[in-house]
Amino acid sequence: MNSSSSNSSRAIFAAFLSLLIPGAGQWYLKSRWRGITIFGATITLAFLINWGLDNFKIGQIVAGGVTTSWLWIVFVLFAAWNIFDAYRMARGEPSFTGLGVAGAAVILYTLAWNVTDINLDRLITRLPDAAKVARNLVQPDLFFQDDAGAWHPSENFGDIFGRVEDQPAPEWLTRWGLVAEDQKVPAYAAGKLIETIAMGLLATLLSTILALPISFFAAHNIMARLPGGTIIYYVMRTILNVVRAVDTVIWGLLVIVWIGLGSFAGVIALTIHSVAALGKLYSEEIEHIDPGPIEAVTASGANLFQVIRYAVFPQIIPPFLAYTLLRWDINMRMATVVGFVAGGGIGFFVLETIRKGGYEQYAAALWAIAVVIIIVDYISAKWRERILIGETKVSVAAPKPFYKSPRAIAYAILGIIGLVYCWDVTRIDLRTLFEPAPTFVRLLYDFVTIDLTPDIVEIVVKQMIITIFQALLATTLGALLALPFSFLAARNLTGRSRLSVWIYYLTRFVFDVLRSIEALLYVAIFAFWVGIGAFAGTLALAVTTFALIGKLYADAIENIDMGPMEAVMSTGATRLQAIVYAILPQIIPPFVSYSIYQWDINVRMATIIGFAGGGGVGLLLSTYFGMLQYHKAGTVVALIVIVVALMDFASAKIRERMV
């Protein structure tokens, strides 16, 4: 009696707290994260409703002579839910979390739908235009048939893959007297795709070399041993996070002011982003090594360098290699788009074809990219698997040193030749790094002293919100579409009949092809279909989301424990019941967690799709850069860094709590 009356007075107090400050009741009831989340959500929703009404007249209604938004009604319901939630929690009754989430979702999706100027009718009215692109996509300009009926590689094929043509003989051939002074010799002129591959390879190599030492400065367990090391650690980590938050393509914009257009600029932009990403992964790996061997080696009287050499290196080399391979995959993908701004590589080529309206050439480039990326993806995954599982060769003889194995020597020579060739193809010229264009210093100064005039901030914030909503809609759309297909692409659920095996391979293949092309490259298709703008960008993002998330979902389904399925089936349940009780509880958490992760990734992607006409903050950024207003560009980049870092943090926190 006594406890129940104190319980209900506690419940009323908690509800009252939540009435005053949303989330305060939950906080008081020791659900700290719930409280903070509700508080943050309330403020954000209120701001967004107001912002939507001001900027886009979203949900505008006139009630009793007052112009307002009907979304405020939903907002009031959300606030009421929050009070009710605190009340129920205090009484120990289960709370209806779903209701609160639904209220917030109504507000967010209404806003998202309006600001990304979704025009579903255009999808239909302009279908003929889309059909034209589609026809080009299946008939890429790669080969042509001459009058005799024989097939030849087209001009465009040469542009992409390279061609053999007569060029002035290189100097060493004449010096050795092999050819005459001005004689021409046939030589292979690399195509744009080859250039792109070289860019990705070089950037991976350079960034691995640079990230290695950096990662030690960003590893807490190493730095804590040095005087003042902890400060260096925090500074390093912050720098890495900021650099990582800015997309490679945006780095490209900065780099071209420094060293001019070209594939060299692309390599540098790729390397900058890659160093930061690898540095972070490497340093986390260093932090997670087993302290046992370090203790043992230290106990034997070794100094810090010996400890690193004998206790740290052997532990970190396999995971480092695995991360480098993963990064190689990512760098290859980024290399296909960095040319959009930096010039060079297939990205630049795609940009040119779009400008000229050459959709057959554009289609050929997409197919070529898909082939390369699928191969890279496969090799990288295979090697990573081999490294992490580790080959255990049983051998009694001591291993031969590296320089005595003919195979190793052959690989080394091939590697060096490849490296030199890449260096040559991408026209690396390290001297230009130290002779920046005269405008570069001004750019840096303007860029760092960002423009904080309210007008500019308002414009930038507006585009940023649109960008975030684009990512939200694209994630939702892509994930919903991917859901049914992911079941078809899961080995353990598709049956063993011939038809279902075919469906399995077909679905996986579609995922792989769509996944291999960056959203930025898809924008052109949708811009042609529904017109340039945020809608086109959202659709392009949705396509990549569909493929990326579809694969993640399917892998999650393949990883579930089939034991419960067996147990439920053994009770006499139907297949449908068994799926609901044994499979769904296992896949919902990873699905939600992947979707949130994908939203996080999509926000990054959405910051650049504007470069290809996909709207959002990217368009603003390229405009400011184009008009040499580095001041304002700095504002945009600063906001991107903040938003991406926040999203990163929030998504990691939420996913952590999901498991």
Partner 1 sequence: MLKVEHLSKTYPNGTQALYDVSFQVEDGEFLAVIGLSGSGKSTLLRCINRLIEPTAGQVVWNAIDITAAPTSELRNIRRQIGMIFQQFNLVKRSPVMTNVLSGRLGYISPYQSLFNYFSPEDRRRALANLEQVGLSEKAYVRADSLSGGQQQRVGIARALMQEPKLILADEPVASLDPVLAHSILKYLEQLNKERGITVLCSLHFLDLVHRYATRAIALKDGKLVFQGLPKEIDDAQFKAIYGQEAERVSIV
**Residue 188, strand partner residues:** 164
Residue 495 CB, shortest distance to partner 1, in Å, is 13
Least CB distance to partner 1 at residue 652 (A): 21
Residue 400, Ramachandran bin (φ over 0: left; ψ between -120 and 50: alpha; else beta): beta
Token duo for residue 455: 């007008």
Residue pair 58/69 in contact by the 8 Å Cβ criterion: yes
Q: Shortest distance, CB of residue 26 to partner 1, whole angstroms?
A: 21
One-letter amino acid at 644 equals V
Give me the least distance between CB of 571 and partner 1, in Å please: 5
How near is the Cβ of 104 to partner 1 at its closest, in Å?
A: 24
What is the rounded CA–CA span in Å between residue 633 and residue 577?
55
Pick the closer one to partner 1 by CB: 213 or 484: 484
Tell which residue, 249, 554, 204, has the closest CA to residue 376. Answer: 204
**Choice between 170 and 589, CB closer to partner 1:** 589
In the bound complex, what is the minimum distance in angstroms from residue 307's beta carbon to partner 1?
Answer: 39
C-beta of 300 vs 577, nearer to partner 1: 577
Q: Minimum CB separation from partner 1 for residue 6, in Å?
A: 24
State which residue, 413 or 562, has the beta carbon closest to partner 1: 562
Q: How many other C-beta atoms are found inside a 10 Å radius of the C-beta of residue 247? A: 25
Q: Are 8 and 75 in contact (CB under 8 A)?
A: no
The 10 Å CB-count burial string (b at 16+, else e) for 393-427 is eeeeeeeeeeeeeeeeeeeeeeeeeeeeebbebbe
What residues contact 330, with CB distance under 8 A and at least 6 apart? 274, 277
Binding site for partner 1 (CB under 8 A): 496, 561, 563-564, 566-574, 576-578, 580-582, 585-586, 589
Tokens standing for 309?
A: 């050499």
**Closest approach of Cβ 483 to partner 1, in Å?**
17
The two tokens of residue 467 are 């960008």
Closer to partner 1 at the Cβ: 493 or 541?
Answer: 493
Tallying the residues shown for the chain, one arrives at 659
Distance CA 269, CA 338 (A): 8
CB of 565 to partner 1, least distance (A): 8
Residues 136, 142, 145, 150, CA torsion sign:
negative
Q: Which is nearer to partner 1, 216 or 581 (CB)?
A: 581
Q: Which is nearer to partner 1, 101 or 567 (CB)?
A: 567
Contacts of residue 274, defined as CB under 8 A and 6 or more positions apart, other chains included, come to: 203, 204, 207, 211, 248, 327, 330, 331
Helix axes 345-356, 313-342, angle to 10 degrees: 20
Return the number of the residue (94 or 390) whose C-beta is nearest partner 1: 94
Q: Considering only CA atoms, which of 106, 48, 50, 114 is closest in space to residue 81?
A: 106
Q: Which of 119, 586 has the CB closer to partner 1? A: 586
Q: Please state the closest distance from residue 579 (CB atom) to partner 1, in A.
A: 10
DSSP annotation of 610 reads G
> Which residue, 124 or 576, is less far from partner 1 as judged by CB?
576
The residue among 393 and 498 lying less far from partner 1, judged by its C-beta, is 498
CA–CA dist 600, 602 (Å, integer): 5
CB of 576 to partner 1, least distance (A): 6
Distance CA 172, CA 121 (A): 64
Residue among 250, 251, 256 nearest 269 (CA): 251
